[in-house]
Chain A
Amino acid sequence: MAGRRVALKAIDWLAFAERVPPNQRSMFNALKTRSDAISAKLTSLPEAPVTIDWSLYKSKVAKVGMVDEFEKKFKALQIPEPVDTQTSAINAQEAEANKSASAYIEASKTRIAEYEKKMDKLNNMVPFDQMTIDDLNDVFPETKLDKVKYPYWPHKPIADL
Protein backbone atom coordinates (compact mmCIF):
# COMPACT_ATOMS: atom_id res chain seq x y z
CA MET A 1 0.00 0.00 0.00
CA ALA A 2 2.73 2.46 -0.88
CA GLY A 3 1.57 5.92 -1.74
CA ARG A 4 1.84 6.58 -5.44
CA ARG A 5 3.64 9.57 -6.56
CA VAL A 6 2.62 11.00 -9.94
CA ALA A 7 5.38 13.09 -11.42
CA LEU A 8 4.44 16.70 -10.70
CA LYS A 9 6.04 19.14 -13.13
CA ALA A 10 7.77 21.99 -11.38
CA ILE A 11 6.16 25.27 -12.43
CA ASP A 12 8.13 28.48 -12.45
CA TRP A 13 5.43 30.88 -11.30
CA LEU A 14 7.64 33.93 -11.81
CA ALA A 15 8.29 33.21 -15.48
CA PHE A 16 4.63 32.35 -15.88
CA ALA A 17 3.63 35.64 -14.32
CA GLU A 18 5.82 37.56 -16.76
CA ARG A 19 4.03 36.07 -19.73
CA VAL A 20 0.56 36.94 -18.53
CA PRO A 21 -0.89 39.98 -20.37
CA PRO A 22 -2.26 42.65 -18.05
CA ASN A 23 -5.89 42.05 -18.91
CA GLN A 24 -5.72 38.41 -17.75
CA ARG A 25 -3.87 39.06 -14.54
CA SER A 26 -6.88 38.52 -12.27
CA MET A 27 -7.48 35.07 -13.78
CA PHE A 28 -3.82 34.23 -13.24
CA ASN A 29 -4.03 35.29 -9.60
CA ALA A 30 -7.11 33.13 -9.07
CA LEU A 31 -5.34 30.15 -10.60
CA LYS A 32 -2.29 30.68 -8.43
CA THR A 33 -4.29 30.91 -5.19
CA ARG A 34 -6.18 27.75 -6.10
CA SER A 35 -2.98 25.88 -6.91
CA ASP A 36 -1.38 27.02 -3.70
CA ALA A 37 -4.38 25.87 -1.67
CA ILE A 38 -4.34 22.44 -3.29
CA SER A 39 -0.60 21.95 -2.79
CA ALA A 40 -0.85 23.10 0.83
CA LYS A 41 -3.56 20.51 1.45
CA LEU A 42 -1.40 17.87 -0.17
CA THR A 43 1.65 18.62 1.93
CA SER A 44 -0.39 18.71 5.12
CA LEU A 45 -1.27 15.01 4.69
CA PRO A 46 1.49 12.50 5.55
CA GLU A 47 2.36 10.15 2.73
CA ALA A 48 2.04 6.80 4.51
CA PRO A 49 -0.72 6.00 6.97
CA VAL A 50 -0.15 5.02 10.61
CA THR A 51 1.13 1.45 10.88
CA ILE A 52 -0.90 -0.94 13.04
CA ASP A 53 1.04 -2.94 15.65
CA TRP A 54 -0.47 -6.36 15.04
CA SER A 55 1.59 -8.23 17.65
CA LEU A 56 0.36 -5.91 20.41
CA TYR A 57 -3.22 -6.49 19.49
CA LYS A 58 -2.67 -10.20 19.19
CA SER A 59 -1.37 -10.24 22.75
CA LYS A 60 -4.22 -8.11 24.06
CA VAL A 61 -7.36 -9.30 22.34
CA ALA A 62 -8.69 -12.52 23.88
CA LYS A 63 -10.95 -13.57 21.05
CA VAL A 64 -9.16 -16.24 19.11
CA GLY A 65 -8.47 -15.53 15.48
CA MET A 66 -10.09 -12.09 15.38
CA VAL A 67 -6.83 -10.19 15.13
CA ASP A 68 -5.45 -12.68 12.63
CA GLU A 69 -8.53 -12.33 10.50
CA PHE A 70 -8.33 -8.55 10.64
CA GLU A 71 -4.66 -8.66 9.76
CA LYS A 72 -5.20 -10.97 6.80
CA LYS A 73 -8.03 -8.90 5.41
CA PHE A 74 -6.23 -5.64 6.00
CA LYS A 75 -3.12 -6.79 4.16
CA ALA A 76 -5.15 -8.13 1.27
CA LEU A 77 -7.07 -4.88 0.88
CA GLN A 78 -6.41 -2.84 -2.26
CA ILE A 79 -7.50 0.74 -2.09
CA PRO A 80 -8.59 1.85 -5.52
CA GLU A 81 -6.84 4.86 -6.92
CA PRO A 82 -9.16 7.70 -7.84
CA VAL A 83 -10.02 7.84 -11.51
CA ASP A 84 -8.58 10.69 -13.56
CA THR A 85 -11.37 12.26 -15.60
CA GLN A 86 -9.95 15.71 -16.27
CA THR A 87 -6.58 15.15 -17.87
CA SER A 88 -8.03 14.23 -21.25
CA ALA A 89 -10.23 17.33 -21.18
CA ILE A 90 -7.19 19.42 -20.32
CA ASN A 91 -5.23 17.88 -23.18
CA ALA A 92 -8.08 18.65 -25.56
CA GLN A 93 -8.12 22.23 -24.31
CA GLU A 94 -4.40 22.45 -24.84
CA ALA A 95 -4.66 21.23 -28.43
CA GLU A 96 -7.36 23.79 -29.13
CA ALA A 97 -5.34 26.54 -27.52
CA ASN A 98 -2.35 25.58 -29.63
CA LYS A 99 -4.45 25.85 -32.74
CA SER A 100 -5.85 29.26 -31.89
CA ALA A 101 -2.41 30.41 -30.78
CA SER A 102 -0.85 29.46 -34.12
CA ALA A 103 -3.68 31.25 -35.93
CA TYR A 104 -3.05 34.33 -33.78
CA ILE A 105 0.67 34.15 -34.48
CA GLU A 106 -0.03 33.95 -38.21
CA ALA A 107 -2.25 37.02 -38.07
CA SER A 108 0.36 38.79 -35.96
CA LYS A 109 3.06 37.97 -38.51
CA THR A 110 0.97 39.39 -41.37
CA ARG A 111 0.44 42.53 -39.31
CA ILE A 112 4.18 42.79 -38.71
CA ALA A 113 4.80 42.39 -42.46
CA GLU A 114 2.34 45.21 -43.18
CA TYR A 115 4.00 47.48 -40.66
CA GLU A 116 7.43 46.69 -42.08
CA LYS A 117 6.23 47.42 -45.59
CA LYS A 118 4.96 50.82 -44.45
CA MET A 119 8.21 51.48 -42.65
CA ASP A 120 10.23 50.66 -45.76
CA LYS A 121 8.03 52.94 -47.81
CA LEU A 122 8.56 55.78 -45.34
CA ASN A 123 12.28 55.18 -45.11
CA ASN A 124 12.82 55.01 -48.85
CA MET A 125 10.59 57.88 -49.85
CA VAL A 126 11.63 60.88 -51.96
CA PRO A 127 12.89 63.72 -49.72
CA PHE A 128 10.26 66.38 -49.10
CA ASP A 129 11.96 69.13 -51.06
CA GLN A 130 12.11 66.99 -54.20
CA MET A 131 8.57 65.67 -53.99
CA THR A 132 5.63 66.28 -56.24
CA ILE A 133 2.03 66.19 -55.07
CA ASP A 134 1.70 62.73 -56.60
CA ASP A 135 4.67 61.51 -54.56
CA LEU A 136 3.12 62.99 -51.42
CA ASN A 137 -0.20 61.23 -52.08
CA ASP A 138 1.72 58.04 -52.63
CA VAL A 139 3.50 58.13 -49.29
CA PHE A 140 0.67 59.63 -47.22
CA PRO A 141 -2.57 58.44 -48.82
CA GLU A 142 -4.62 60.61 -46.49
CA THR A 143 -3.42 63.77 -48.28
CA LYS A 144 -4.99 62.71 -51.57
CA LEU A 145 -7.66 65.19 -52.63
CA ASP A 146 -10.91 63.55 -53.71
CA LYS A 147 -11.58 65.36 -56.99
CA VAL A 148 -14.64 63.27 -57.79
CA LYS A 149 -16.54 63.95 -54.58
CA TYR A 150 -15.53 67.61 -54.44
CA PRO A 151 -14.94 68.65 -58.04
CA TYR A 152 -14.35 72.32 -57.24
CA TRP A 153 -11.31 73.78 -55.51
CA PRO A 154 -10.31 73.28 -52.67
CA HIS A 155 -11.51 69.69 -53.19
CA LYS A 156 -12.29 69.21 -49.54
CA PRO A 157 -14.97 70.63 -47.22
CA ILE A 158 -14.20 74.19 -46.14
CA ALA A 159 -14.26 73.10 -42.53
CA ASP A 160 -11.26 70.81 -43.15
CA LEU A 161 -8.94 73.56 -44.40
Chain B
Amino acid sequence: MLSRLVVVSAHGLKSSSPLGAGCYVVSRSLVQASRSLHTSSQSRAPLPPLPEKGGQVRHGIFPEEIFQLLYPKTGVTGPYMLGTGLLMYMLSKEIYVINHETFAAASIGAVIIYGVKKFGPSVAAFADKLNDDKVAKAQEVKDVSLTSLAQAIEDEKKEQWRVEGRAMLFDAKRNNVAMQLETNYRERLHMVTNEVKRRLDYQVALQNLHIQMEKEHMVKWVEKSVIGSITPQQEKESIAKCITDLKALARATQTSATA
Protein backbone atom coordinates (compact mmCIF):
# COMPACT_ATOMS: atom_id res chain seq x y z
CA MET B 1 0.00 0.00 0.00
CA LEU B 2 2.73 2.35 0.93
CA SER B 3 4.45 1.83 -2.43
CA ARG B 4 1.26 2.76 -4.36
CA LEU B 5 0.85 5.88 -2.28
CA VAL B 6 4.45 6.75 -3.05
CA VAL B 7 3.95 6.24 -6.78
CA VAL B 8 0.88 8.50 -6.76
CA SER B 9 2.71 11.20 -4.87
CA ALA B 10 5.74 10.78 -7.14
CA HIS B 11 3.64 11.83 -10.13
CA GLY B 12 3.03 15.07 -8.39
CA LEU B 13 6.76 15.66 -7.93
CA LYS B 14 8.56 17.58 -10.62
CA SER B 15 11.53 15.23 -10.93
CA SER B 16 11.15 12.65 -13.66
CA SER B 17 13.83 10.26 -12.44
CA PRO B 18 12.94 7.34 -10.22
CA LEU B 19 15.66 8.51 -7.87
CA GLY B 20 13.44 11.37 -6.71
CA ALA B 21 10.70 9.06 -5.49
CA GLY B 22 13.16 6.88 -3.65
CA CYS B 23 14.75 9.82 -1.87
CA TYR B 24 11.33 11.22 -0.91
CA VAL B 25 10.34 8.00 0.81
CA VAL B 26 13.59 7.27 2.63
CA SER B 27 12.64 9.66 5.39
CA ARG B 28 9.18 8.03 5.81
CA SER B 29 10.06 4.39 5.34
CA LEU B 30 9.73 2.07 8.29
CA VAL B 31 12.93 0.29 7.27
CA GLN B 32 15.72 2.53 8.55
CA ALA B 33 18.16 1.37 5.89
CA SER B 34 20.21 3.50 3.53
CA ARG B 35 18.51 1.75 0.60
CA SER B 36 14.75 1.43 0.54
CA LEU B 37 13.02 -1.82 -0.45
CA HIS B 38 10.19 -2.03 -2.97
CA THR B 39 9.44 1.68 -2.79
CA SER B 40 8.67 2.19 -6.47
CA SER B 41 7.43 -0.10 -9.21
CA GLN B 42 10.30 0.90 -11.46
CA SER B 43 13.38 -1.26 -11.44
CA ARG B 44 16.60 0.66 -11.07
CA ALA B 45 18.86 -2.12 -12.35
CA PRO B 46 20.99 -1.06 -15.33
CA LEU B 47 19.57 -2.16 -18.67
CA PRO B 48 21.31 -4.95 -20.55
CA PRO B 49 22.53 -3.83 -23.97
CA LEU B 50 20.00 -4.26 -26.79
CA PRO B 51 20.64 -7.25 -29.07
CA GLU B 52 22.20 -6.43 -32.44
CA LYS B 53 19.86 -8.56 -34.56
CA GLY B 54 16.29 -9.79 -34.11
CA GLY B 55 15.33 -13.40 -33.48
CA GLN B 56 16.41 -15.81 -36.24
CA VAL B 57 13.60 -17.04 -38.53
CA ARG B 58 13.45 -19.51 -41.38
CA HIS B 59 11.41 -18.70 -44.48
CA GLY B 60 10.49 -15.34 -42.99
CA ILE B 61 7.97 -16.52 -40.39
CA PHE B 62 9.04 -19.71 -38.60
CA PRO B 63 11.29 -19.06 -35.61
CA GLU B 64 14.54 -20.99 -35.45
CA GLU B 65 13.71 -22.15 -31.93
CA ILE B 66 11.11 -24.67 -33.22
CA PHE B 67 13.72 -26.32 -35.46
CA GLN B 68 16.18 -26.46 -32.58
CA LEU B 69 13.48 -27.85 -30.30
CA LEU B 70 12.60 -30.71 -32.61
CA TYR B 71 16.13 -31.48 -33.81
CA PRO B 72 17.09 -34.02 -31.08
CA LYS B 73 13.96 -36.09 -31.63
CA THR B 74 13.30 -35.84 -35.34
CA GLY B 75 16.49 -34.53 -36.96
CA VAL B 76 16.70 -31.93 -39.67
CA THR B 77 13.57 -32.79 -41.63
CA GLY B 78 11.33 -33.03 -38.53
CA PRO B 79 9.72 -29.59 -38.57
CA TYR B 80 9.16 -29.75 -42.31
CA MET B 81 7.30 -33.06 -41.97
CA LEU B 82 5.28 -31.55 -39.12
CA GLY B 83 4.40 -28.55 -41.30
CA THR B 84 3.43 -30.65 -44.31
CA GLY B 85 1.41 -32.98 -42.14
CA LEU B 86 -0.44 -30.12 -40.47
CA LEU B 87 -1.21 -28.52 -43.83
CA MET B 88 -2.53 -31.79 -45.29
CA TYR B 89 -4.64 -32.39 -42.18
CA MET B 90 -6.21 -28.93 -42.37
CA LEU B 91 -6.92 -29.21 -46.10
CA SER B 92 -8.28 -32.77 -46.07
CA LYS B 93 -10.46 -32.38 -43.01
CA GLU B 94 -11.66 -29.03 -44.40
CA ILE B 95 -10.61 -27.22 -41.23
CA TYR B 96 -9.28 -24.62 -43.69
CA VAL B 97 -11.71 -24.23 -46.64
CA ILE B 98 -10.29 -23.16 -50.01
CA ASN B 99 -12.41 -20.32 -51.43
CA HIS B 100 -12.01 -17.02 -53.30
CA GLU B 101 -10.21 -15.47 -50.34
CA THR B 102 -7.45 -18.09 -50.69
CA PHE B 103 -6.45 -16.81 -54.13
CA ALA B 104 -6.68 -13.19 -52.99
CA ALA B 105 -4.44 -14.02 -50.04
CA ALA B 106 -2.01 -15.88 -52.26
CA SER B 107 -1.72 -12.95 -54.73
CA ILE B 108 -1.33 -10.35 -52.00
CA GLY B 109 1.23 -12.57 -50.26
CA ALA B 110 3.20 -12.91 -53.49
CA VAL B 111 3.27 -9.15 -54.06
CA ILE B 112 4.29 -8.45 -50.47
CA ILE B 113 7.07 -11.03 -50.57
CA TYR B 114 8.35 -9.62 -53.87
CA GLY B 115 8.31 -6.06 -52.50
CA VAL B 116 10.13 -6.94 -49.30
CA LYS B 117 12.75 -9.02 -51.07
CA LYS B 118 13.46 -6.26 -53.60
CA PHE B 119 13.29 -3.10 -51.50
CA GLY B 120 13.94 -4.42 -48.00
CA PRO B 121 17.68 -3.97 -47.79
CA SER B 122 17.70 -0.43 -49.20
CA VAL B 123 14.95 0.74 -46.83
CA ALA B 124 16.80 -0.87 -43.92
CA ALA B 125 20.02 0.88 -44.96
CA PHE B 126 18.22 4.21 -45.17
CA ALA B 127 16.78 3.81 -41.66
CA ASP B 128 20.16 2.75 -40.33
CA LYS B 129 21.75 5.79 -41.92
CA LEU B 130 19.28 8.10 -40.18
CA ASN B 131 20.17 6.55 -36.87
CA ASP B 132 23.89 6.64 -37.60
CA ASP B 133 23.66 10.35 -38.43
CA LYS B 134 22.07 11.05 -35.07
CA VAL B 135 24.73 9.03 -33.27
CA ALA B 136 27.52 10.69 -35.26
CA LYS B 137 26.19 14.12 -34.39
CA ALA B 138 26.04 13.23 -30.71
CA GLN B 139 29.57 11.79 -30.90
CA GLU B 140 30.80 14.98 -32.52
CA VAL B 141 29.23 17.06 -29.77
CA LYS B 142 30.92 14.87 -27.21
CA ASP B 143 34.33 15.14 -28.89
CA VAL B 144 34.08 18.90 -29.24
CA SER B 145 33.12 19.22 -25.58
CA LEU B 146 36.05 17.05 -24.51
CA THR B 147 38.58 19.03 -26.53
CA SER B 148 37.17 22.35 -25.37
CA LEU B 149 37.23 21.23 -21.74
CA ALA B 150 40.82 20.04 -22.06
CA GLN B 151 41.74 23.36 -23.67
CA ALA B 152 39.97 25.25 -20.89
CA ILE B 153 41.93 23.33 -18.28
CA GLU B 154 45.17 24.12 -20.10
CA ASP B 155 44.29 27.80 -20.23
CA GLU B 156 43.48 27.90 -16.54
CA LYS B 157 46.81 26.27 -15.70
CA LYS B 158 48.60 28.79 -17.91
CA GLU B 159 46.86 31.66 -16.17
CA GLN B 160 47.96 30.26 -12.83
CA TRP B 161 51.54 30.12 -14.08
CA ARG B 162 51.23 33.71 -15.22
CA VAL B 163 50.03 34.82 -11.83
CA GLU B 164 53.15 33.34 -10.27
CA GLY B 165 55.26 35.97 -12.00
CA ARG B 166 53.71 38.83 -10.05
CA ALA B 167 56.74 39.16 -7.77
CA MET B 168 58.79 40.38 -10.74
CA LEU B 169 56.57 43.39 -11.18
CA PHE B 170 57.12 44.54 -7.65
CA ASP B 171 60.85 43.89 -7.86
CA ALA B 172 60.96 46.10 -10.94
CA LYS B 173 59.11 48.84 -9.10
CA ARG B 174 61.41 48.69 -6.10
CA ASN B 175 64.41 48.74 -8.39
CA ASN B 176 63.09 51.85 -10.06
CA VAL B 177 62.67 53.56 -6.71
CA ALA B 178 66.17 52.57 -5.56
CA MET B 179 67.70 53.75 -8.81
CA GLN B 180 65.97 57.09 -8.57
CA LEU B 181 67.16 57.56 -4.98
CA GLU B 182 70.72 56.71 -5.94
CA THR B 183 70.60 59.12 -8.86
CA ASN B 184 69.35 61.85 -6.61
CA TYR B 185 72.08 61.21 -4.05
CA ARG B 186 74.80 61.32 -6.67
CA GLU B 187 73.41 64.52 -8.10
CA ARG B 188 73.60 66.07 -4.65
CA LEU B 189 77.23 64.98 -4.18
CA HIS B 190 78.21 66.39 -7.51
CA MET B 191 76.43 69.64 -6.86
CA VAL B 192 78.23 70.20 -3.55
CA THR B 193 81.72 69.53 -4.91
CA ASN B 194 81.07 71.67 -7.96
CA GLU B 195 79.91 74.59 -5.89
CA VAL B 196 82.91 74.44 -3.57
CA LYS B 197 85.25 74.15 -6.49
CA ARG B 198 83.62 77.12 -8.18
CA ARG B 199 84.09 79.29 -5.14
CA LEU B 200 87.74 78.34 -4.76
CA ASP B 201 88.31 78.91 -8.46
CA TYR B 202 86.68 82.28 -8.11
CA GLN B 203 89.10 83.26 -5.36
CA VAL B 204 92.06 82.15 -7.44
CA ALA B 205 90.79 83.97 -10.50
CA LEU B 206 90.18 87.08 -8.46
CA GLN B 207 93.73 87.02 -7.19
CA ASN B 208 95.11 86.54 -10.66
CA LEU B 209 93.08 89.43 -11.89
CA HIS B 210 94.45 91.68 -9.17
CA ILE B 211 98.03 90.78 -10.05
CA GLN B 212 97.38 91.35 -13.71
CA MET B 213 95.88 94.75 -13.16
CA GLU B 214 98.73 95.79 -10.93
CA LYS B 215 101.25 94.75 -13.59
CA GLU B 216 99.51 96.64 -16.32
CA HIS B 217 99.15 99.70 -14.21
CA MET B 218 102.78 99.66 -13.31
CA VAL B 219 103.86 99.30 -16.93
CA LYS B 220 101.66 102.21 -17.96
CA TRP B 221 102.97 104.34 -15.16
CA VAL B 222 106.59 103.63 -16.04
CA GLU B 223 105.91 104.46 -19.67
CA LYS B 224 104.24 107.70 -18.79
CA SER B 225 107.03 108.78 -16.50
CA VAL B 226 109.66 107.90 -19.07
CA ILE B 227 107.90 109.89 -21.75
CA GLY B 228 107.40 112.75 -19.36
CA SER B 229 111.07 112.79 -18.49
CA ILE B 230 112.11 113.44 -22.06
CA THR B 231 112.93 117.32 -21.76
CA PRO B 232 112.74 119.70 -24.81
CA GLN B 233 116.56 120.15 -24.70
CA GLN B 234 117.09 116.43 -25.12
CA GLU B 235 114.60 116.40 -27.96
CA LYS B 236 116.43 119.09 -29.95
CA GLU B 237 119.76 117.31 -29.43
CA SER B 238 118.34 113.98 -30.54
CA ILE B 239 116.72 115.57 -33.65
CA ALA B 240 120.07 117.27 -34.67
CA LYS B 241 121.92 114.04 -34.24
CA CYS B 242 119.29 112.26 -36.37
CA ILE B 243 119.72 114.89 -39.15
CA THR B 244 123.57 114.51 -39.24
CA ASP B 245 123.18 110.76 -39.31
CA LEU B 246 120.77 111.00 -42.17
CA LYS B 247 123.17 113.28 -44.16
CA ALA B 248 126.03 110.84 -43.69
CA LEU B 249 123.79 108.02 -44.77
CA ALA B 250 122.72 109.96 -47.90
CA ARG B 251 126.33 110.66 -48.93
CA ALA B 252 127.16 107.02 -48.46
CA THR B 253 124.28 105.89 -50.68
CA GLN B 254 125.08 108.51 -53.39
CA THR B 255 128.68 107.32 -53.68
CA SER B 256 127.58 103.69 -53.83
CA ALA B 257 124.97 104.55 -56.50
CA THR B 258 127.39 106.36 -58.78
CA ALA B 259 130.12 103.76 -58.34
B177 touches A84 (CB 8 A): yes
Question: In the assembly, what is the distance between CA of A15 and CA of B165, in Å?
Answer: 9
Q: Give the residue name and chain of the B residue nearest to A19 (CB).
A: B165
B196 neighbours in A (Cβ, 8 Å): 52, 70, 74
Question: In the assembly, what is the distance between CA of A41 and CA of B182, in Å?
Answer: 10
B49 to chain A, nearest CB (A): 5
B144 to chain A, nearest CB (A): 11
B176 touches A35 (CB 8 A): yes
Q: Give the residue name and chain of the B residue nearest to A80 (CB).
A: B188
B176 neighbours in A (Cβ, 8 Å): 34-35, 38
Question: In the assembly, what is the distance between CA of A8 and CA of B183, in Å?
Answer: 13
Label chain B's interface by main secondary structure: helix
B166 touches A97 (CB 8 A): yes
Question: In the assembly, what is the distance between CA of A52 and CA of B204, in Å?
Answer: 14
Q: Total interface residues on A, using CB and 8 Å?
A: 77
B146 neighbours in A (Cβ, 8 Å): 119, 122-123
Q: Give the residue name and chain of the A residue nearest to B208 (CB).
A: A60
B189 touches A42 (CB 8 A): no
**Is the C-beta of A29 less than 8 angstroms from some C-beta in chain B?**
no
Partner of B175, one of A9, A19, A20, A136: A9
Q: Contact mask A29-59 → B, CB, 8 Å, 1/0?
A: 0010011001101100111111110000100
**Is the C-beta of B207 less than 8 angstroms from some C-beta in chain A?**
yes
Question: In the assembly, what is the distance between CA of A90 and CA of B146, in Å?
Answer: 43
Which residues in window 84-115 of A have CB below 8 A to B? 84, 86-87, 90-91, 93-94, 97-98, 101, 104-105, 108-109, 111-112, 115
B142 touches A38 (CB 8 A): no
B165 neighbours in A (Cβ, 8 Å): 15-16, 18-20
Given A8-B179, A52-B193, A123-B146, verify A45-B187 contact (CB < 8 Å): yes
Given A57-B200, A57-B204, verify A11-B171 contact (CB < 8 Å): yes
**Is the C-beta of A64 less than 8 angstroms from some C-beta in chain B?**
no
B188 neighbours in A (Cβ, 8 Å): 79-80, 82
B33 neighbours in A (Cβ, 8 Å): none
A122 neighbours in B (Cβ, 8 Å): 142, 145-146, 149
Question: In the assembly, what is the distance between CA of A101 and CA of B170, in Å?
Answer: 14
Partner of A35, one of B163, B172, B189, B199: B172
B37 to chain A, nearest CB (A): 23
B199 neighbours in A (Cβ, 8 Å): 70
B217 to chain A, nearest CB (A): 18
B179 neighbours in A (Cβ, 8 Å): 8, 38-39, 41-42
B115 to chain A, nearest CB (A): 29
B160 touches A19 (CB 8 A): no
A60 touches B168 (CB 8 A): no
Partner of B204, one of A50, A61, A97: A61
Q: Give the residue name and chain of the A residue nearest to B167 (CB).
A: A94
**Is the C-beta of B253 less than 8 angstroms from some C-beta in chain A?**
no
**Is the C-beta of B108 less than 8 angstroms from some C-beta in chain A?**
no
Contacts A6-B182, A45-B183, A67-B200 known; 12 new A-B pairs at CB < 8 A:
A8-B178, A11-B172, A16-B168, A19-B168, A20-B165, A38-B180, A52-B200, A74-B192, A77-B192, A90-B173, A115-B153, A136-B138
What would 7 A/B residue contacts be, using CB atoms closer than 8 Å? A11-B171, A16-B172, A34-B176, A38-B179, A60-B204, A66-B203, A116-B153
